[in-house]
Structure 1
Amino acid sequence: MTSDPLILVVDDLAPNVRLLEAVLSPRGFRVATASSGEEALDVLSKEYPDVVLLDILMPGMDGYEVCRRIREDPGTAFLPVIMITASGEQEKIRAIESGADDFVNKPFDQAELLARVRSLVRVKRYHDTIQQQAGELARWNRELEQRVQDQIEQLDRVSRLRRFLPAQLADLIISSGD
């Protein structure tokens, strides 16, 4: 990994945010925080985290809506989201249906949370690498298409020259670059 992974922690309760920071920071994660769904979306417009840890039950915009909006935005559609809540099994199903990649119950087991975060950071880094390679491949394809087009134009010029000049003279003019 090139830099420490950035984790966006979204929870309306400051003690929960501090707890997650205390778990993540000493283990090599940078932490950005938001205390509401609206603030989380604002942070996502400026920062590029590797994973979002998202509380479900928040005043205003709940975690489900935040997750749906993350999935709707092409820039964050593949951003891994782990939803965290003290609620039961029904909440887990709704979390997955809203687009969450994983789910952790409160109170959470630190080792389990860290394992899930590391796993999704790894997946995100793979995705980022694939996106970068796809961009490079597209650039190379454009360059190759341009080279082919240039060669076709060159062949066309040679063909026209050979219609009006002897082959040896046409070859001499072409090889001189004129």
Structure 2
Amino acid sequence: MNHAVPHVLIVDDHPDMLGVLDQLMKSAGYETELANSGVDALERAHTDTPDLILLDWMMPGMDGLQVLAHLRAAPMTAKTPVVVISAKGPEEGNKAIRAGATAYWPKGSVDAEELIRIADVVTSNRVHGKILRADIPGKQRP
């Protein structure tokens, strides 16, 4: 994996939304990985910790806030930035932030550039740190 390119895990149970977010993030220069369920997301996040997780709130089985709780409880992903994406209103966005999300982005927002700006800000320090650690023998990704 290229340490200079941020790795984003995109989690959504709707294939169309996965495709839209995948193309958006790739066009902005991100490396993407897709998960279509909460269980799939946790497996992928714990196999290769991403620099950012875009996480749908409303999913069958394990919803986004349940996934977020598992991510925050695991040392490997406790500090991984997570943007919760949902069609729910601003009050639910506040709930996501209180639950440990780094940011909230309303699904269906016409401002896709806002999501890219959020991603750029939250991944910049993580990627910079990885580049520095990659130059030190014996150091690996956190």
- TM-score normalized by the length of structure 1: 0.69
In the alignment, structure 1 segments of 5+ residues that lack a partner are: 137-178
Among 106, 109, 112, the residue aligned to 1:110: 112
Q: Aligned pair in 2 of structure 1 residues 68, 112: CA closer, same or farther (>3 Å)?
A: same
Say yes or no: does 1:39 pair with 2:40.
yes
**Root-mean-square deviation (Å):** 2.0
Any runs of at least 4 consecutive aligned residues in structure 1 with deviations exceeding 4 A, and if so which? 126-130
**Cα drift, residue 24 of structure 1:** 1.0
- 1:38-59 CA distances to partner (integer Å, 9 max, x unpaired)? 1100111212211000000100
Is the 1:80–1:124 Cα contact (8 Å) retained in structure 2? no
SS at match of 1:45: helix
Q: How many residues align?
A: 133
Q: Aligned pair in 2 of structure 1 residues 61, 100: CA closer, same or farther (>3 Å)?
A: same
**Cα drift, residue 69 of structure 1:** 0.8
Instruction: Please name the residue that 1:16 is paired with.
Output: 17
Q: Greater relative contact order (Cα 8 A, min sep 6): structure 1 or 2?
A: 2
**Cα drift, residue 127 of structure 1:** 5.7
**Cα drift, residue 2 of structure 1:** 4.2
| Equivalent runs, 1:113-132 vs 2, <5 Å | 113-125=115-127, 128=130, 132=133
SS at match of 1:7: strand
Instruction: Please name the residue that 1:75 is paired with.
Output: 76
Is the 1:83–1:103 Cα contact (8 Å) retained in structure 2? yes
Instruction: Please name the residue that 1:7 is paired with.
Output: 8
SS at match of 2:53: strand
SS at match of 2:47: coil
- TM-score normalized by the length of structure 2: 0.85
| Alpha-carbon distance in structure 1 between the residues aligned to 2:99 and 2:80 | 13
| Alpha-carbon distance in structure 1 between the residues aligned to 2:85 and 2:77 | 19
| Alpha-carbon distance in structure 2 between the residues aligned to 1:64 and 1:129 | 31
- 1:68-115 CA distances to partner (integer Å, 9 max, x unpaired)? 111110111110000001101221122012110001012131110100
| Alpha-carbon distance in structure 1 between the residues aligned to 2:41 and 2:3 | 25
Is the 2:52–2:119 Cα contact (8 Å) retained in structure 1? yes
| Alpha-carbon distance in structure 2 between the residues aligned to 1:126 and 1:2 | 9
| Alpha-carbon distance in structure 2 between the residues aligned to 1:7 and 1:51 | 5
| Equivalent runs, 1:1-178 vs 2, <5 Å | 2-108=3-109, 109-125=111-127, 128=130, 132=133
Is the 1:65–1:98 Cα contact (8 Å) retained in structure 2? no
